[in-house]
Amino acid sequence: MKKLLLLLLIVFCMTITVSPATACTTTIVGKDASADGSVLVSHSDDGLGDGRLIYIPAKDHKPGSLRPVFYSHCALDFKPQWGGSEAHRIVTKDRGPGYDTGDAPPNVPLGYIPQVAHTYAYFDANYGIMNEHQVSIGECTDKAKVHPEPAPGKRIFYSSELSRVALERTKTAREAVKLMGELIEKYGYYGTGETLLVADPNEGWVMEMCGYDMNGTGGIWVAQRVPDDKFFVAANQFRIREVREGDPDMMHSTNIFTVARQKGWWDPANGPLDFTSVYGDGEFHHPYYSLRRVWRAQSLAAPSLDLPAWVEGPFTRTYPFAIKPDRKLTVEDLFSIHRDNYEGTEFDLTKGLAAGPFGNPNRFEGQAESVADKEGRLTPLNGEFERPLNIYRCVYAYVNQSRSWLPDAIGGLTWFGPDRPATAVLMPFYAGALDLPAPIQRADLLKFDRGSMWMAFNYVANYAMLKYSYMIKDIHAVRDRFEKTAFAKQQEVESNALALWKNGDEKAARRLLTRYSDNLAGDVLREWWTLSENLYLKYNDGYLNTREGIAQAVFYPAWWLKQVGFEEGPTSYQKKQPAR
């Protein structure tokens, strides 16, 4: 009995000390599949953690300089021995003022690589996002057969730092993929399996990677080009299937076939190497944790395909690698996918008893979700909730635009939404910006900060769960107004910046774009805190409070009352007999 209690205590401690797995959704749209000819990349970072969007300035480096490679929290949870904190992923003077916070121990490098003479400016979060040359990145975590631990001098790279080095050093998606592949092979890979979407104004690639031995060096990677007229989505499971040697639309590590044979994971006699099934280990956590999102995203992009929601197993081929959308997609279309809670389907999370009386789509996850592949359940119940595209623990989401017909400084654009997509406002930040607004670069999930954009959105989103079906309408009214204005002004802002650029005043164009984004972000921050106050007043104590009347009753719907036992309440002085 004592041993059992000790085991339960250990498992319990794991559940409260390990942060949620970063389990994301990411998409890419080819230039011929987008409404305006952009190559689009989207990403929702679905693990509560560091919500900052940081500007990394371009920088010159002295000959012989070394670049430190830091441990990534989102690989295998926070490890204090490598510096930083649970709230802040990087603390260093090495990468510009955004990470020179001094609020936690500085990061300790896992190793170093030779530095280049000049590195490019880029936007960074838990993964690199976009650089000044419109190279754009999205990400999702995948379950591989092996998840090695970091080892200095042996396995020093995870996808986070790989994406940052790529943005620092490359001008095209192909260059970025090749560079990251070389770094994996030379310096080793640790952590979970990963999918990185890599794009530029002309094309988009899906790059997938993993370790293959707990004590090994190097890693495995493969990349496949997304056809220009197609839409691609990944959601925490590898998506590349047959690896084709010599195909100009594929790249891969030199060891991809030999390792698979040596491990006994693949026999060439059985057909081409299927990367998803050979190196992958199915879905995280439970059936349809990944596949349901792939089904939903593809169904929203191309309803005409009439894709089935139910499949035969984790390695189904029901959902193609990439699909042609029914109509050309916009930034708004992509973010609508990320905002989805399966509304209108048999899986609609705004319906049913679990949604409560006010249609709350959020389903808090249990033990298994919080510890990724170190699972151990404390509940005797066997079951799962559906995992939506819009999830309560999303820390940020964005859509990147890369556009070939504009100078990089103007053509590259990140539409960034703090916190979960359904309640976020998409705000535009240009690749040529001289900096990012201060509120976007501030966030600490353990410190209440009215100067933090992430905190404002997270606060409102959490408060909305009290009376979701009512409050979400108020939130969307403000959200939609800001987004409508931003999309409407996009052409004017870019035309003015382009005129300055063509007249030779590139610095003035960059200042214009920077100032525009800064002013918009300031307006959003002020109004979002005002919205939080208005929601508090309007729905105080569960009532509806307006100028038309205080304490207007908002009672529960009859269907919900019936299911939760309202009819069994004290309606008489006689004790009610239990139903037979």
Per residue of the chain (580 residues), give pLDDT as tens. Answer: 444 444 443 333 333 333 444 579 999 999 999 999 999 999 999 988 899 999 999 999 999 999 999 999 889 889 999 998 989 999 999 998 999 988 889 999 999 999 999 999 999 999 999 999 999 999 999 999 999 999 998 999 999 999 999 999 999 999 999 999 999 999 999 999 999 999 999 999 999 999 999 998 899 999 999 999 999 999 999 999 999 999 999 999 999 999 999 999 999 999 999 999 999 999 998 999 999 999 999 999 999 999 999 999 999 999 999 999 999 999 999 999 999 999 999 999 999 999 999 999 999 986 544 444 445 555 567 788 999 999 999 999 999 999 999 999 999 999 999 999 999 999 999 999 999 999 999 999 999 999 999 999 999 999 999 999 999 999 999 999 999 999 999 999 999 999 999 999 999 999 999 999 999 999 999 999 999 999 999 999 999 999 999 999 999 999 999 999 999 899 999 888 776 6
What is the predicted pLDDT for the residue at 216?
87
Q: Write a three-state SS string for 482-496.
A: HHHHHHHHHHHHHHH
Would you call 502 helix, strand, or coil by DSSP? helix
Largest CA-CA distance found in the chain, in angstroms, rounded: 89
d(CA 209, CA 144): 9
What is the predicted pLDDT for the residue at 22?
57
The partner residues of 435 in beta bridges, in order of sequence, read: none
Which pTM was predicted? Answer: 0.94
- DSSP summary character for residue 147: -
* Residue found under tokens 């409050």: 471
What is the predicted pLDDT for the residue at 369?
45
d(CA 489, CA 368): 45
pLDDT tens per residue, range 429-478 = 999 999 999 999 999 999 999 999 999 999 999 999 999 999 999 999 99
d(CA 150, CA 156): 6
CB 219 within 8 A of CB 189: yes
Two tokens, residue 130: 């976009």
H or E stretch covering 412? none
Two tokens, residue 274: 């299927």
What is the predicted pLDDT for the residue at 577?
78
Burial call 392-414: b when 16+ CB within 10 Å, e when fewer = bbbbbbbbbbbbeebbbbbbbbb
What is the predicted pLDDT for the residue at 378?
55
CB 206 within 8 A of CB 232: yes
What is the predicted pLDDT for the residue at 503?
98
